[in-house]
Structure 1
Amino acid sequence: MSSGAAGGAVLRLHHRPGELTACNIGHLADCKGRLAAAERETGVAFLAGEMLRQGCGTSCPSGTRRRGAGQPSLSGRDGAAVRESGGHGGHGAADFQGESGAPPSRDQTRGKGMSMLSTLTAFLAPVLLATSALGAQENWPQWRGPDGNGVSAAEGLPTNWSQTENVVWATALPSWSGGTPVIWGNRIFVTSASETDSVTPTAPAEQPRQSRGGGRDPGGESLLLICFSKSDGRELWRYQLDVGNQLRRKHNDTSPSPVTDGEHVWVATGAGVVTALDMEGKRIWRRELQKEYGPLGMNFGYASSPLLHEGRLILQVLHGQLTDDPSYIVAFDALTGKVVWRQERPTDAVAESPDAYTTPALLEHGGKSQIVISGGDYVTGHDPLSGREVWRAGGLNPERRGNYRVVGSPFVVGDMIYAPTRKRPLLALRAGGTGEVTDSHLVWKWEGAGAPDVPTPVSDGKYFYMVDDKGLVTCLSAPAGTVVWGPERTALGTVSASPILADGKVYFINENAVTTVLAAGPRFEALATNELDGSYTLSSPAVSGSRLFLRTGTHLYCIISE
């Protein structure tokens, strides 16, 4: 692992220990707005909490009263109230300095602490409430965002951009990947292969490493997790997860997206190596699925992303084309890596149809959680405490074909479970069943044109948007499955990335890094077509605050509105 300086964003509020001035009180409303803006960059909820714990005041430094007493000094890119710390491990840390430049001692603040705490609580409570509501918008902790369905409540997102317009920063990447960037606070995590031929190949002789296929180089031998600063795109650290990167037709062994809770980050590789790291890139634990449970037997390599739920890291292995071993679901203790449970997932699918490249979804219904798995001709719901199957729905492969491997993942919106398959049918199921629910909980089934093979659709519960692999977009009624509009043509080109829905817009990016932005709603309206670098792009977009993050085959872009 190589490491750069950790660039955690730091908001500096100058103060005199124990002092809350009338000047500050008079400008707290303005300060709240600035704090909210700063939270979009750095996570101010942590800062405010630290202020309350330490009993720090917010008095005005000399020379700032004309500007608005009590306001934080603004610096950094785009006027954000942040500075990058020079030390390793500075993520989310609040740096409180008195006028002497030293932090206050407990003795200095003890006398006035309680009085000041109550005052600060009164004035900062609205800020904390507002920023806690913003948390899900600020973080994109897993593939397809906070709820795993591609929907964000963020506002002020960009509509138009190019390589020279509305790009805050662009960072070169070692190689391409199907993995989505995940974001927490000021940190972005991406998977990548190393630069091509940067190390000597060490793939096993019985599985010779493919150097080319479909006109694409798989990238270098090493499989990496790289951490970047969200504020300016600097690389903070990188960690080598494994070696032996392979080209798997359209994708390589970096396709699984990471998942993070802000304290740790977990990631799997296409070879089934699962690694947990802290936010500084230090390894906590490592498991190897193939060594423990047998070879991965899907035809095109492992691509499922892990799901984090209540201290458990849950992974699915749905395979059968290249193995007689059963499919299974496994849960590891997220902190220790110990196996919590492992359950086989039976299927009567044949040939390639047991294989699935989907990612598990989380269903919350009736006060209980379930893990939703799709593939092998079935959609199933599982108890996250034991892995036990609670319900099962068939219908993904009604003609029992042998080539119905599934790529598009299941996702949940409210009480509806949506499960795509190899183009059609696409199923909408009602939550709440037990046992066999194929007929009893089927709400609608789509068998018409426009259904995807690879991209996962997106829905806000009212409208359901899907893009097929050729870029044709169709909008259905989410509750009824009837056509609202489409299929409509977007930018020409193959689409593999999944769309996202945010700020009244739907974003679709094709394999040439061209993004079509549509207005969400009952009328087809193309708002913009935006080109970037033209490189091979499989990654789905990510959102944090009012910024859009796009990972192309060569760069990671941070894009803002005009």
Structure 2
Amino acid sequence: MNHRLLLSAFVAAACAAGASADNWPQWRGLKNDGRSTETNLPTEWGADKNVVWKLPMPGMGASTPVVWGNQIFLTSVAGDDIVLLCAGTDGKEKWRRPVSSTGATRYKNPSGADASDASASCSTDGKHVWAFAGNGSLACFTTDGKEVWKEDLQKYGKFRIQFGIHWTPVLYKDKLYLQVMHRGAQLVVALDAATGKEVWKKDRPGYSKGESPDVYASACIWEGEGGPLLIAHGNDFCTAHNLDDGSEVWRVTGLNPNASGAWRFVSNPLVTPDLIVVPSCKDGPTVGINPVGAKGEITPDNKAELWRVPASANFRTPDVVAPVRIDDIVYITGHGPFWALDAKTGKVLYRENLSKGSHWANLVAGDGKVYVTSQEGVTDVVAAGKDFKKLATNALPDKIFAGPAIADGRIYFRGYGHLWAIGTK
């Protein structure tokens, strides 16, 4: 297929994406915000309840499944390889292709969490799927498994980071955008999705002290009045960039108020048209900004900043898990505590404890419910609203680091052992 026809396919697929609520084309869903518009989603399940099917995985992996039509895509360790795996919504593996064959590295941090080079999630437009392995291999395949191109992102500098590379490139129209942030590079980059060739790259400076250059968050796209913009989160700042050339539009500062070297960003910002919620880490603040018309350095003196919530006995910034929003409430979790904040003011509405466990999977929401999944395979289902109400606690016999995906009435969980389809159909 020539590039003109390929790009025409991208445009057609993008238009189709805007009209469908049944697909989950990227790790944070259709709008990069972890939300689904679907209704009648399951509330209760277990190993023998509301499991439509489960598919054995060839190895560990933390990539959120992405879903388009009757196909599901994810990456996985398979022996010494990182593979792109395609499963059908019927629960059968359709094909797998190598993304990297240079050995699968595994990482373990002091908290006991383990991860691998199969941590970044895929993106799809229904015609093609893009997959990234933590050793730098970024590849594009057709949805029937034919390789289109492959690039090595270590061309931007040999990866040097404590616990491995886990960024997910974000697909927007005909380009892939990503932040390449580690001790060897601090960049935002745009690639042509059809060819993998560089469109632009831009230096994105930070403090670069201690752990700060080690960035585990992923770039995302904000759509709203005055947008779209590329949002990069890492090395002590959250920044917005013009999609045409990568130039910086605004920068949230004060996230690491003491310029501590024991600092690194993992949790992603929540992006919605009139609110971006910027987490930090450890005992840093959480900041809510109105991105419409925002410019320059964003501090409490900038009118774009709506609120800034410091760490306290009643609240801590999300260290790993990305927030989610339903109506005018923002939901945030750590390894146990679960908070609801007023989206307009940042006021803490409640703090409650959920099932004991380690939470690495990002929050997702749909059907008036928030799904909170722990490493131990336990998902608490919390009703949306100003008052805390836990609807159910559900357990699957698996280890889960990946965020769930919601598509066509089902919730998909990628465990280290299986891919689980939860639903009633």
* Distance 1:268-1:253 versus aligned 2 partners, 3 A rule: same
Report whether the alignment pairs 1:437 with 2:301.
no
1:507/1:515 contact within 8 Å kept: yes
Name which of structure 1's ranges 335-344 and 435-444 shifts more when overlaid on structure 2: 435-444
In structure 2, the partner of 1:366 is: 225
Task: Say yes or no: does 1:451 pair with 2:317.
Answer: yes
Task: Give the conservation status (yes or no) of the 8 Å contact 1:413–1:460.
Answer: no
Which one has the bigger strand percentage? 2
Which of 343, 346, 355 does residue 478 from structure 1 map onto?
343
Distance change (3 Å), C-alpha of 1:454 and 1:350: same
**Who is 1:538 aligned against?**
401
Q: 2:411 matched to which residue of 1?
A: 548
- What is the CA-CA distance between 1:133 and the residue it aligns to? 7.6
Distance 2:361 2:156 in 1: 30
Radius of gyration: which is bigger? 1
Report the 3-state secondary structure (helix = DSSP H, G, I; strand = E; otherwise coil) of the residue aligned with 1:152: coil
- 1:176 — aligned with what? 60
Change (3 A) 1:132 1:495: closer
Q: Distance in 2 between matches of 1:298 and 1:417?
A: 27
C-alpha displacement of 1:140: 0.3
Q: Write the mapping of 1:245-284 to structure 2, written as runs, cut at 5 A.
A: 245-249=104-108, 250-284=114-148
**Paired letter, 2:92:** R
Q: 1:469-496 CA distances to partner (integer Å, 9 max, x unpaired)?
A: x22111111111001111x111111111
SS at match of 1:479: coil
Indicate which of 278, 298, 301 corresponds to 2:164: 301
Aligned partner of 2:199 in structure 1 is: 340
Closer/same/farther in 2, CA of residues 385 and 133 from structure 1, 3 Å limit: closer
Q: How does 1:35-434 map to 2 (within 5 A)?
A: 135=20, 137-194=21-78, 220-230=79-89, 232-243=90-101, 244-249=103-108, 250-290=114-154, 292-320=155-183, 325-423=184-282, 424-431=284-291, 432-434=293-295
1:504 maps to 2:365: no
Equivalent positions of 1:511-526 (< 5 A) are 511-526=375-390
4+ runs deviating over 4 angstroms: 131-134
Q: Paired residue for 1:33? A: none
Q: Which amino acid aligns with 1:268?
A: F
Name the aligned partner's letter for residue 552 of structure 1: G
**Residue of structure 1 in register with 2:326 after alignment:** 460
> What is the Cα deviation at residue 450 of structure 1?
4.0
Which digits, 9 at most, give the CA deviation of each residue in 1:363-406, with x for residues without a partner?
12324310011111111100111111111121211111101100
In 2, distance between residues paired with 1:427 and 1:367? 20
* Contact 1:190-1:226 within 8 A present in 2 as well: yes
Q: Could you tell me whether the CA contact under 8 Å between 2:223 and 2:272 is conserved in 1? A: no
Q: Tell me, which stretches of 5 or more residues in structure 1 are unaligned?
A: 1-91, 93-130, 195-219
Aligned counterparts of 1:302 and 1:375: Cα–Cα separation in 2: 13
CA separation in 2, counterparts of 1:555 and 1:268?
20
Structure 1: which amino acid aligns with 2:389? Answer: E
Distance 1:332 1:429 in 2: 28
Q: 1:226 to 1:523 in 2, by over 3 A?
A: same
Q: Which amino acid aligns with 1:281?
A: G
TM-score, normalization: structure 1?
0.69
Q: TM-score by structure 2 length?
A: 0.91
Alignment partners' CA distance in 2, 1:253 and 1:461: 36
Cα deviation, residue 310, structure 1: 2.1
Of all paired residues, the percent bearing the same amino acid is 37
Aligned-partner Cα distance in 2 for 1:386–1:414: 22
Question: d(CA) in 2 for partners of 1:169 and 1:420?
Answer: 36
The residue type paired with residue 241 of structure 2 is H
- Note the alpha carbon deviations across 1:239-280, whole angstroms, 9 max, x for none: 111131111223110000000111111111111111011001
Provide the C-alpha distance between the structure 2 equivalents of 1:437 and 1:483, rounded to a whole number of angstroms: 22
> Is the 2:275–2:289 Cα contact (8 Å) retained in structure 1?
yes
Q: Deviation of residue 330 (structure 1)?
A: 1.3
Kindly tell me the number of residue pairs found equivalent between the two proteins: 399
* Per-residue CA distance 1:28-65 (angstroms, 9 max, x = gap): xxxxxxxxxxxxxxxxxxxxxxxxxxxxxxxxxxxxxx
